[in-house]
Structure 1
Amino acid sequence: MIYANLTSKRPSRVSCFEQINMSVKDFPEKCWELVFRFLGQGHDLESVSMACKKFIPITNRVKFSLTLHDRTVLFLPRLLSRFLRLKVIDLSYFNGELKGLLHQISQSELDLDLVNLSNQRTLPIDELRELGSKMVNLKALICSNIGYLHDSHLVLIAYCFPFLEELDISFPLDSQASDFGIVRLSSMLENIRKIDLSGNHLITDKSLMSLCQNCRSMEEISFFKCFKISQIGIVSAIRMRPGLASISFNIEKKRIHGPGLTPLHINLDLIDSLTTLKRLNTIDLSNSFISDEFLISVAGGSSVFLKKLVLQDCCNFTFSGIFYVLSKCQYVQCLDLRKADFLTDESISKLSTFLLNLTSIDLSGCCQLTDSTFFILTRNCPFLSDIKMERTYIGVQGEEDSNSMFNFAINHQVKTVYLGDNILLKDASLIKFSFICPSLQLLDLNACEGISGESIVEVMKRCSEIRHLNLANTIIERFEINFEVSKLGMLNLSGSRIEDEALSIISKWCSGLLLLDIQNCYVTAKGVREVIENCRALKEVNLKNCSLVDDDFVSELKTFTRSSLRKIITPYGVGVYY
């Protein structure tokens, strides 16, 4: 038996349940329902349903979303009869035969709003027709990354789900969808508000025009990598639907003779048409050739409403262009400037004066940015929650005085920080960041080889809310923790240098772990056993390529079950499910 009993110092499970039952009696069910709604649809909700039998009917009523994996399919009839208020079913993680599954869902008495069929080999015709006959009120259908997509699928979708408001058919692996299918679909789905056509390379201006002409409720449209749609077609679509709230596309960069990229000429009518989008709140131009004039037109049209601006991997614009658009659009909340390599710390300082409403920023690949940018953003952006600065010059002292904390401001709003692939990041900088962001919940330090276990301990000590920590591909060997890290649920140590000693400490002080990834680590069965014994909430362990974990231990694991443990990836990469 590899699972240890609870120590005598801890209250028994029976006594805990008795205390909970006493509390349930004294607390109205409606109040419990409000509490459980606040927990969301994930593991927290599952945990409370296991804590007390009287919680089960309450959690059944507040669960609206169900994600199906291969291992849960056997329990599908029970799940469908238990959760009668389900509105969303996600099949994007399911790798088996889709036909029988859709039949079971169709035969249930559910009234679904959304079904996600992404990542399937294809869409089964008969079962889709059956689903449509039962789920007559379905509002959203997600079919991204389908193996094979044909016009017949589009016509069937339109016929079976006439009240669809959202449709995603983006990036099929083999797309045979053409203007014929899109035109038929647009003529039948008048209520469509949001559609993603990205990656369907056969469609042309005709498809875009038919959607904008027939779907009068259209608010959001995406068509990345649909390079048969011309700039003239985009102009016509915008002028037909000036009330669009979100538009996402890219202006192709074409490679001709020799190295480098020769872009298409930007049509002046396209630049002018953007000024007519007065209610635009989101524009995504990822991987496009744009210009400062292009950005100025965006600002001219939607200066009040623009909330999200994505310019990831765009070229040909300058600091002047982005300065102008942000000076006019000061309500931007999400800003993506990945690979804008002209940006400097001074640039960010100037832009930050316009970013008072910013909640999320991505500056990954901006190779001139140093620690100063981090300090500037956390000081000048009071609502900033999410910072991504991967592959930058972070770890290098900029013009900000890094020896004095007077220039730094503690920001309790910052919850997630991604600093992966910053090879110059050192302990001193990381400790300062943790001091500035004490409410941090997610920290990603993948491939940051300059940090040590000592700085990680400081992060854990200062950031007591930390829930997700990624230390993959670092040189960290051990942690000298002597305090409880109670909220840490996900720990990624894959490719690091940790051994059994580190696992022993982790199992003692991080007992609330849900997921532990230690693939490619030099750990043995002894260290893994200790983690499984002490971390009794553990749901998943990844031991892939852990060559020192012997076969006998793997066989031993297969013979044991525990209510929390769901999945173990063996050293050979095989998943063992419970």
Structure 2
Amino acid sequence: MSMSSSSSSSDSESEYSNLQHIPDECWESVFKYLSDPLDHESLSLVSSHFLSLTNRLRTSLTVSDHVLPFLPALLCRFPNLTSINLTHHTGDLNELLSQIASSHLPSLRSLDLSHQPALPSIALRHFSRKFPALKSLNCSFMDSLTDKDLNLIAECFPNLEEIDISYPRIADAESRVKALASGFKKLRKVNLSGLPLRKLSLPGCFQYGYGGISSLLRNCNNLQHLDLQCTEFLDDRCVIELSMLLGNLNFVNLSENSNLSDSSLFAIIRNCPLITEIRMERAGVGKQKVEKDCLVVNSHLKFLYLTRNSYLDDESVEMIASVCPNLETMDLSYCERVSEGAVEVLRKCCKIRHMNLARLGSELFRIDFEIPTLCSLNLSWLRIGDEELSLISKRCHRLKELKLDFCQKITANGVNQVVENCKQLRVISLFSCEKVAADVVAWMVFTRRSLRKIIAPPRFHLTEGQRDLFLRHGCIVSSDLTNVTDSSARNYEPELLEAFLFP
């Protein structure tokens, strides 16, 4: 070993020794400034000490169906959970609550049962005996929630301070207020929303016309969510007039309405100042331009989905970019007349995080400016080569997910550039990339330890030994777009669980 190498190794050991003397309280204070769970995941891989610290810092857990096999391990792993969300669970809620009640979670104070069909009364009593100090309970959007259920909740959780029973399927406000007043003595916050109409969803309904929907909206000034997907009478004139009645709207779905053009889109942007998400997929955006002096900037719009608008072109997309500076997500997939307009979105929207550009009409896709916020990019079916891919990897160096399916011109050289330059890369898809050599997969797994999922290129044959080796490195490899999880992954903890917790 050379003198310089020996000195460097000694310095590293000395620095690590010094770090070991830093109290856990100091580390925890530092880690708390990192709000993104993905950052905690990276820290957990540094050492077993950091793993135990990040485990203690996690305070919330969302339990969906694909997490169920790992639930016992997760409940042991995160002892300081204060809130559990069961909204996305579709199975037996009584069984799940009983399983949670058998764990040791002394800090648990909040439970979310929203969007469930009914209150799990059988297991709730058992759960309450284990967690009598529960402070917050969410039963919003529940199909069936009766006064009897409220009495049961009051009996089980006398210390509740917050309860959400908003947007029930059957609403009886007066009865529920009485039940709350008589049963809960410590309540500080109650959500009874749902009597004023906040959400209207009528996709594919044909038994009403413009007069009916207009009359309804004139009497519902607080509407926030509107879904008129596939509504045969809708045209630009209707949407322009309706948009003037929707000052509080923050979500609208006007997809599959082929009579709607740019006029409808920009009317929503102009007349609904609080709008955050617009869906106009498979519409007619692009076929009728608007005058530029009619444009108004909307700083609230964050999510815009325009997939499969066959008329959409660069001119319309550039106009959108000019009035929506805070866009975070944009889907332009299958808009085959769009090319440079997509680049202008990336240039002008400085908060952009997710872009779906699959099957654009661009021959080349060159980016010659930094995009530090972009974390997800779909370039499937684009006719880009290694040169363009190298530029993208250098300008979008914080990418975490990259899809390159059916990109027939790229080779392993371009993929190498991505893996080397994108140090936070977690997911990469190379499905049907014919010119990418199969042996690049192993190199990617061992080179970029942040990778969690790889869709392999053609001619890659995954052996049992390779699968286990890759899993031990925390990466799931598949040659099938629909099969990116593996039941054997549950045998590898704690690193691989992160691939399921943070897909």
| TM-score, with structure 1 as normaliser | 0.62
CA contact (8 A) 1:231 1:270 kept: no
What is the aligned partner in structure 2 of residue 29 from structure 1? 25
Q: Is the 8 A contact 2:312 2:335 kept in 1?
A: yes
Change in Cα spacing, 1:127 to 1:445, as seen in structure 2 (3 Å) is farther
1:248 — aligned with what? 226
What residue is the counterpart of 1:67 in the other structure?
Answer: 63
Residues 375-396 of structure 1 deviation map (CA, whole Å, 9 limit, x = unaligned): 3333333333322111221335
Q: Secondary structure at the match of 1:184?
A: coil
Contact 2:221 2:246 in 1 (8 A): yes
1:361–1:188 distance in 2 versus 1, CA, 3 Å: farther
Within 1, Cα distance between the matches of 2:175 and 2:17? 53
Q: Is the 1:186–1:214 Cα contact (8 Å) retained in structure 2?
A: no
Conserved 8 A contact 1:129-1:156:
no
Change (3 A) 1:188 1:328: farther
Measure, in 2, the Cα distance between the counterparts of 1:267 and 1:319: 10
Aligned to 2:34: 38
Counterpart of 1:114 in structure 2 is 112
Aligned to 1:309: 278
Alpha-carbon displacement from aligned partner over 1:122-157 (angstroms, at most 9, x marks no partner): 7675447659977673236578xxxxxxxxx43459
**Residue in 2 that maps onto 1:100:** 95
Alpha-carbon separation, structure 1, partners of 2:204 and 2:126: 31
Distance change in 2, residues 1:158/1:393 (3 Å): farther
CA positional deviation for 1:365: 1.6
Evaluate the alpha carbon distance shift between residue 90 and residue 475 of structure 1 in structure 2; reply closer, same or farther with a 3 A threshold.
Answer: farther
Whether the aligned pair in 1 keeps the contact of 2:250 and 2:276 (CA below 8 Å) is yes
Aligned twin of 1:215: 195
Q: Aligned to 2:171, which of 156, 162, 184?
A: 184
1:414 aligned to 2:374? yes
Superposition deviation, residue 35 in structure 1: 0.9
State the 1:297 CA deviation.
Answer: 4.9
CA RMSD of aligned residues (A): 4.9
User: CA 1:23/1:348 → structure 2, altered by over 3 Å: closer, same or farther?
Assistant: same
- Contact kept? 2:61, 2:81, Cα under 8 Å: no
The verdict on how the C-alpha distance between 1:282 and 1:534 changes in structure 2, with shifts beyond 3 A counting, is: closer
Measured in 1, the distance between the counterparts of 2:126 and 2:218 equals 37
Q: Which moved more, 1:127-136 or 1:534-543?
A: 127-136
Tell me by how many angstroms 1:337 deviates: 1.9
Q: Which residue of structure 2 aligns with residue 487 of structure 1?
A: none
User: Is 2:488 the partner of 1:529?
Assistant: no
Query: Which residue number corresponds to residue 341 of structure 1?
Result: 310
Q: Render the CA deviation track for 1:208-249: whole Å, top value 9, x for unaligned.
A: xxxx99634x655555456667655543443333233x3231
Instruction: Kindly indicate whether the alpha-carbon contact (under 8 Å) linking 1:507 and 1:530 is maintained by their aligned counterparts in 2.
Output: no
Instruction: Map 1:153-302 to 2 at 5 A.
Output: 153-156=143-146, 159-160=149-150, 163-164=163-164, 182-184=169-171, 215-216=195-196, 222=201, 224-225=203-204, 231-232=210-211, 234-244=213-223, 246-253=224-231, 263-264=232-233, 271-288=240-257, 291=260, 294-295=264-265, 297-299=267-269, 301-302=271-272
- Match of 2:444? 506
Shift of 1:187: 7.0
Partner AA of 1:250 in structure 2: L
Give the alignment partner of residue 350 of structure 2, picking from 373, 378, 382: 382
Scaled by the length of structure 2, what TM-score is found? Answer: 0.70
CA contact (8 A) 1:442 1:466 kept: yes
What residue number does 1:468 align with? 427
Unmatched 5+ stretches in structure 1: 1-8, 144-152, 168-180, 191-211, 254-262, 479-497, 546-553, 568-578
- What SS does structure 2 have at the residue aligned with 1:283? strand
**Aligned-residue offset at 1:275:** 0.8
Q: Which runs of 5+ in 2 are unaligned?
A: 1-5, 154-161, 178-191, 498-503
- 2:301 alignment partner AA: V
Alpha-carbon distance between aligned partners in 1 of 2:427 and 2:49, rounded to the nearest angstrom: 30
CA deviation after TM superposition for structure 1 residue 366, in Å:
0.9
Q: Choose between structure 1 and 2 for higher RCO, CA contacts under 8 A separated by at least 6 residues.
A: 2
Judged with a 3 Å threshold, the aligned counterparts in structure 2 of structure 1 residues 272 and 379 are, in CA distance, closer, same or farther, namely: closer
Tell whether the 8 Å contact from 1:312 to 1:339 is kept in structure 2 after alignment: yes
Assess if the C-alpha contact under 8 Å between 1:115 and 1:142 holds in 2. no
Cα contact 2:419–2:448 (8 A) shared by 1: no
User: What amino acid sits opposite 1:83 in the alignment?
Assistant: N
Residue identity (%): 14
CA shift in 2, pair 1:233/1:166, >3 Å: farther
Query: SS where residue 110 of structure 2 aligns?
Result: coil
Structure 1 counterpart of 2:136: 137
Tell me the distance in 2 between the aligned counterparts of 1:24 and 1:221. 57
Q: Is the 8 A contact 1:21 1:52 kept in 2?
A: no
| 1:112/1:137 contact within 8 Å kept | yes
Once the two structures are superposed, the pairs formed by residues 531-570 of structure 1 within 5 Å of their partners are 532-533=468-469, 536-538=472-474, 540-542=476-478, 562-564=492-494
Change (3 A) 1:232 1:457: same
User: How many residues are paired up?
Assistant: 452
| Residues 159 and 188, structure 1, Cα contact 8 Å, conserved in 2 | no
| SS of structure 1 residue aligned to 2:350 | coil
8 A Cα contact 2:400 2:426, kept in partner: yes
Using the TM superposition, give the Cα deviation of residue 52 of structure 1 relative to its aligned residue in structure 2, in angstroms.
4.1
Residues 343 and 534 of structure 1: CA distance in aligned 2, closer, same or farther (over 3 Å): closer
Q: Which residue of 2 aligns with 1:201?
A: none
Specify the alignment match of 2:158 in structure 1: none
Q: Please list the CA deviations of residues 19-44 of structure 1 after superposition, one character each: whole Å capped at 9, or x if unmatched.
A: 87863542461651451462544694
Helix, strand or coil at the partner of 2:341:
helix
Are the aligned partners of 1:359 and 1:383 in contact in 2 as well (CA < 8 Å)?
yes
Provide the secondary structure at the position in 1 that maps to 2:323. coil
One-letter amino acid matched to 1:418: N
| Structure 2 residue 342 is the aligned partner of structure 1 residue 364 | no
How far apart, CA to CA, are the structure 1 residues paired with 2:29 and 2:63?
Answer: 21
SS at match of 1:425: coil
**Is the CA contact 2:101–2:126 (under 8 Å) kept in the aligned structure 1?**
yes
Kindly provide the amino acid, as one letter, of the partner of residue 164 in structure 1: D
**In the alignment, is residue 455 of structure 1 matched against residue 414 of structure 2?**
yes
Q: CA deviation digits over 1:443-502, x for unaligned, max 9?
A: 111222332222222333444443322212221442xxxxxxxxxxxxxxxxxxx2xx43
